[in-house]
Amino acid sequence: MTMETLHGVRRSKMSETGPRLPKMTLARMTLGTLLRQWRKNSGLSQLDLALDIGVSTRHLSFLECDKALPSEPMLKAISTLLDIPEAEQNMLRLAAGFKPLPYKHGPETEEHGRVRKIIEQVKRAHKDVPLLVKDQIWDIIDLNNPAQRFFKTLTGRSLLLEDHFVNVLELIFAPDLLRKHIVNWEDVADATVRHVHHETGLASENPAFQAVLDRVMDFSGFRERWINPLSMNANQYATRYIFNEGGKRRSYDSVLISLGAPYEAILGGIRFDTFHAVTDE
């Protein structure tokens, strides 16, 4: 599965040869807007920042007006000079067309440490069922041992890779991951799109979230009804998965648990997704 990212407006399609679908109507902030906001928050003028990173003010102006894209080293230099948090740097990377980077496990802030302890407590409390840990745009940032075994058996790969995160939308919609193993795939896709939009409503301007939507809309088989999922019922918080495991059908109910709010920092918008085997069938 490729992790291509986008800059600007992109048209999506049902397939390479199928009819094109309209853009999902979500507000979004461009890379230039984000860079300008971070610069102003730092109290620097364009001249100050341009001198610090060694470029002309004209070039910096082009970046902030979305007339040019920065190189990866330049984006890193800007992020460092403006002291942009790690989670926000990934938003900038996606908006600029670069792969997101896994978060480094360096010295933790006090708040970071508390949330990490909560995550570990939830993982221990659900040690007997598969559990995914997701951030505010539903990138999978952690999972417990049962989930590692369960999803690696189905997909043949780890969901935690060194070079990028796997998003839940990609996990469900990508043809080479879970999709081919889910008997009731369209029902699960309906519920997934509905939940993601409902849970990330306050983060809809996040360019990283928009980039995920753009990628998913390019997968073959994407249905037109998923373009405006905000109109769908979002009151259902459990999803029934029917997997084909080695020729046998097994059902699981997925239950969502939220920690914090989706507009908070990366560890403040945590979601837990647990998979409970259905025993009454």
- Range of the structural domain that residue 113 is part of: 108-277
Average pLDDT, the chain: 76
Q: Is 181 within a domain?
A: yes
Instruction: Please check whether residue 80 lies inside any domain of the structure.
Output: no
Residue 223 lies in a domain: yes
pLDDT band at 109 (very low <50, low <70, confident <90, very high): low
Kindly state whether residue 233 falls inside one of the protein's structural domains.
yes
pLDDT class of 22 with cuts at 50, 70, 90: very low
Can you give the pTM of this predicted structure?
0.63
Whether residue 6 has pLDDT greater than 70: no
Residue 112 in any domain: the answer is: yes
At 176-234, the pLDDT tens digits run 899 999 999 999 998 888 877 776 554 555 666 767 777 888 888 888 878 765 545 55
Q: In terms of C-beta density within 10 A (0-12 exposed, 13-18 middle, 19 or more buried), how is residue 269 classed? A: buried
CATH assignment of the domain containing 247: 3.30.450.180
pLDDT tens digits, one per residue of 77-86: 999 999 888 7
Tokens 């647990």 correspond to 274
The reply to whether 219 falls in a domain is yes
> Do 255 and 237 touch, CB atoms closer than 8 A?
yes
Sheet of 131-134: strands edge to edge?
A: 140-143, 131-134, 269-277, 248-260, 238-245
Largest CA distance in the chain: 67
DSSP tag of 182: B
Cα separation, 47 vs 25, in Å, equals 36
Q: How many domains does the chain have?
A: 1
Task: Give me the phi and psi of 232, to 5 degrees please.
Answer: -85, 155
Q: Is residue 117 part of a domain?
A: yes
